Amino acid sequence: MHIHSLLLRAIRLAPFVAAAAFCASPSRAADLWNPGEYEWTMKTDADAPRTAKTCVTPEMAMMANGDSRSGREAAMKANKGRCSIQEYYVSGNKVTYQITCGDRVMASTTTFHGDSSEGDLTTTVANGGAVSHMHTTAKRLGACK
């Protein structure tokens, strides 16, 4: 698969990634993410940075800041069976997961800072296929439009 196609797939998965990080737990002192419109910047090893916008709704934000179990459950619900979740961990302000979508395995670690985040995503195609690395950043722009 061409790197441009992988980038488009990552842009389409951005809302899932965001939703996967939002899980309910009243025990956390601060939100991992706040509701609003976010601009994502994605940079692969070989291509120029690309940007996309995603709205984090209040409903998504209400699920924020959970533990690994509730995070995995929320990710499975948001996923609607499109991908298989092998790992999902929440530790402090970091969310780490590994999912399989078709013939691709995606492993990600994202660090959240309330109104911003940064992370790395590695996508591997099964049976010795291509491996791509993407660094992502997101920043809150304001209310959703």
Contact between 18 and 54 (Cβ < 8 Å): yes
Closest residue by Cα to residue 47 from 106, 17, 2? 2
Count up the domains in the chain and report the number: 1
The encoded tokens of residue 25 equal 């737990």
pLDDT digit string, tens, across residues 41-86: 999 988 899 999 999 876 665 554 567 787 777 777 777 778 888 8
| CA pair distance 82, 103, nearest whole angstrom | 12
Question: Count H helices, E strands: the chain?
Answer: 3, 7
| CA pair distance 73, 35, nearest whole angstrom | 20
pLDDT digit string, tens, across residues 98-135: 999 999 999 999 898 889 999 999 999 988 788 999 99
Contact between 105 and 123 (Cβ < 8 Å): yes
The pTM is what? 0.73
Tell the residue number behind the tokens 């791509």, with chain if given: 132
Give the range of the structural domain holding residue 94, as residue numbers without chain letter.
3-142
